């Protein structure tokens, strides 16, 4: 059984066909970090990639392939992210490294949260 392909004249255009989704997958990127179709910042190799976590709190180096990916290294600092990415995948392409080097020096700060009774609210800075 083959996976259906989007026609080039699809009303959805190329929006579903990104370099970050699985090859030959006509589906939109997933919202689950462990899915193969979750949007990657950089594909280091067939078994390694870097993503931004779904809550926009950190960058994650993941190992996997096929249908399942697993986070192995979690980062707020770009230089440490690059160091770990190269440790896990020394043969990372220059293009993937360029993407990582273009990231801000630190992941954008998450909102400061405080627990007030049973709800979580943002603290004014």
Confidence of residue 1 (pLDDT cuts 50, 70, 90): very low
- In the predicted model, is pLDDT for residue 84 greater than 50? yes
Q: Is the pTM of this model over 0.75?
A: no
Q: What is the pLDDT of residue 29?
A: 66
Q: Where are the beta strands (DSSP E) in 1-125?
A: 40-43, 48-52, 59-65, 68-75, 113-116, 119-122
What whole-number percentage of the chain has pLDDT above 90? 42
DSSP 22: P
The answer to which of 34-38, 85-89, 120-124 has the lowest mean pLDDT is 120-124
Q: What is the pLDDT of residue 16?
A: 35
Mean pLDDT of 10-38: 53
Q: What is the pLDDT of residue 103?
A: 94
Q: What is the pLDDT of residue 79?
A: 96
Q: What is the pLDDT of residue 102?
A: 95
List of residues 6+ apart from 109 with CB closer than 8 A: none
104-108, Cβ contacts within 8 angstroms, sequence gap of 24 or more: 104/78, 105/77, 105/78, 105/79, 106/76, 106/77, 106/78, 107/57, 107/58, 107/59, 107/75, 107/76, 107/77, 107/78, 108/56
User: If DSSP codes are grouped into helix, strand and coil, which group holds residue 24?
Assistant: coil
């Amino acid at each position: 059984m083959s996976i259906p392909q989007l026609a080039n004249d699809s009303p959805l255009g190329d929006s579903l066909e990104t370099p970050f989704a699985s090859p030959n997958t006509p589906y939109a990127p997933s919202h689950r970090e462990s899915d193969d179709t979750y949007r990657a910042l950089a594909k280091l190799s067939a078994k390694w990639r870097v993503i931004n976590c779904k809550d926009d709190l950190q960058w994650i180096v993941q190992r996997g392939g096929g249908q399942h990916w697993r986070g192995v290294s979690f980062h707020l600092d770009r230089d440490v992210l690059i160091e770990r990415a190269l440790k896990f995948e020394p043969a990372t392409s220059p293009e993937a490294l360029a993407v990582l080097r273009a990231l801000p020096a630190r992941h954008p700060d998450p909102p400061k949260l405080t627990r007030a009774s049973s709800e979580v609210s943002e603290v004014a800075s």
